[in-house]
Structures are given as structure tokens and as C-alpha cells.
Amino acid sequence: MLEVRDLRAAYGATPVLHGVSLHADATSFLGLIGRNGVGKSTTLRCIVGLMQPSGGSVLLDGQPIVGVPTHQIARRGVAFVPENRGVFPSLTVMESLTLGERPAPAQGGWTLERVLQVFPRLGERRRNRCDALSGGEQQMLAIARALLTNPRLLILDEPTEGLAPLIVEEISRVLRSLRGSGLAVVIVDQNLDTVFDVADEVAVMSRGAIVVRGPSDTLRHDQDMLNHHLGV
């Protein structure tokens, strides 16, 4: 479904991605890990059209999408939950949820009712303004909104950043529960346990390139590799 080939990107004259290649099929749960500043967010931004790469290609269902506007990439089934969560402070939870809602395709799609089952907190807070929500609730709202667009590919940048351990666990559990629901996920997170719990396969980035890729269960126990590339 998603194929990233030899992606290059720069901020001004500073190159940041030196040839990133990745692929995800329609049911992949792919994790992307690496030290701060190696280019994980830049990679995601290039995929969703928020940044123009300087080289390489991004293919969605075999079609090149570099240069396609972000909203059209979204319409083709790619939902992006950015690092800052992108919630609208002055809207209520319910207004935010209904804003991006797209009709569920036939059966088994995401509806308001279904996201409220997955995130009951959002139902309790439906009349609250988003800026009154906790960080965890804002993250749940951001994920719920993304699901309501009924994406085929859900891309999350640091969904557990700054959240309390119990909330991190809840978000991991929800993301894990999406397995087998006909959706692909790409997740970037500094919390390695979250990535290893959620993803089936993990790619490790170092200085603008993928240096290791393998099954989550194998890499999670590869202490030498984790120490070398992540310093943990």
C-alpha cells in the first residue's frame, strides 16, 4: 500500500534524510524508532505531503504522491496524527469529532458511536472545550478524529509523548486493538515499549536512514542493537 523509496529531504541547505526506504502493506503495523533528530518526523511529513522531499518517491497503491496536496492524500485514505495533536482549542470534543467525520464505508467502518466505545472518556467530556482536556484526552481525541476519517493508513507521530504511564498503556491498548481491523499503522514513538507492543515490524533510523528492520519481538530483545542505535 505504502512504499517509500530512497527518500531525501533537507531543511534549507541541511540534508536530513539520506535515502529512506520503507514499505507497508494493507495490514502492516510498522514502528519507526531512533534517537531524537534522526529524521523520523521529517519522514512522516514527507509521506503525508506536509513537506516536499528533495529526492526519492512515495507511492500509495503504486501511485506517486509526492507533490499531491495533503488534503488529497488524506482523501486517499491516509490519516496523520501529528506530534502536537492538532486539536482545535476552542471547539468542544463533540464539535471536533463531527468536523472530520466521513461516512463509514459499508460495514465495520468507524462511526461516532464506535470511537466513543473505544474512548469512553471522550463521551464523558463531549461538551468540554478541547483546551480543557488533559494531554491524554487530547491525544485520544486526535486518534478518534483520525479514525473517523476511516483511513486505510493511520500515521502517528509520538502519540504517548508527555503522557502519564496509565494513559500510555491505554493508548497502546487501543492501538493494538486496531490490529486485524483492515487498517495499516505507522507509529513513531520515543516510548519503545509502546512501539514494540503496537507494531509487528520495526525499522530503526539513524542519521537520516533506516539501519535495521525486523520483527518487533526480535528487535525488542536485541540489546546490543538498541544500545548502539538508541543508547538504551
Question: What DSSP string runs through 100-153?
Answer: S--PPPSSS---HHHHHHH-HHHHHTTTSBGGGS-HHHHHHHHHHHHHHT--SE
| Residue 191 touching ligand ADP (CB under 6 A) | no
Q: Residue 121 binds which one of ligand ADP, Mg ion, none, with CB within 5 to 8 A depending on kind?
A: none
Nearer to ligand ADP, 11 or 62 (CB): 11
Which cell is 39 given? 529524521
Q: Which of 28, 31, 33, 39 binds ligand ADP (CB under 6 A)?
A: 39
Residue in this structure with the C-alpha cell 536512514, named with its chain if needed = 209
Q: Is 60 helix (H, G, I), strand (E, B) or coil?
A: strand
- Cell output for 169: 498503556
Q: Which is nearer to Mg ion, 41 or 96 (CB)?
A: 41
Residue type, 61: D
Rank residues 19 and 37 by Cβ distance to Mg ion and give the closer one.
37
Indicate whether 22 belongs to the interface with ligand ADP (CB under 6 A): no
Residue 41 near Mg ion by CB under 5 A? yes
Q: Is 191 in the site for Mg ion (CB under 5 A)?
A: no
User: Count of residues for the chain?
Assistant: 232
Binding of Mg ion by 42 (CB under 5 A) = no
Q: How far is the CB of 161 from Mg ion (least distance, A)?
A: 9
Stretch that binds ligand ADP, among 31-39, 103-111, 118-126, 128-136 (CB under 6 A): 31-39
Q: Which does 34 bind (CB under 5 to 8 A by kind): ligand ADP, Mg ion, none?
A: ligand ADP
- Taking only Cα atoms into account, the Rg of the chain, rounded to an integer number of angstroms, comes to 17
Stretches 23-31, 40-48, 69-77, 99-107: which one binds ligand ADP (CB under 6 A)? 40-48
40 binds ligand ADP (CB under 6 A): yes
CA 113, 2, 24 angle in degrees (round to 5)?
80
Taking a C-beta distance cutoff of 8 angstroms, is the pair 196, 31 a contact? yes
Backbone phi and psi for residue 149, each to the nearest 5 degrees, phi listed first? -80, 0
Residue from 20, 30, 38, 133 binding ligand ADP (CB under 6 A): 38
Count of residues near ligand ADP by CB under 6 A: 10
User: Which cell goes with 82?
Assistant: 501529528
Query: Half-sphere exposure of 205 toward its Cβ, with a 13 Å CA cutoff?
Result: 30
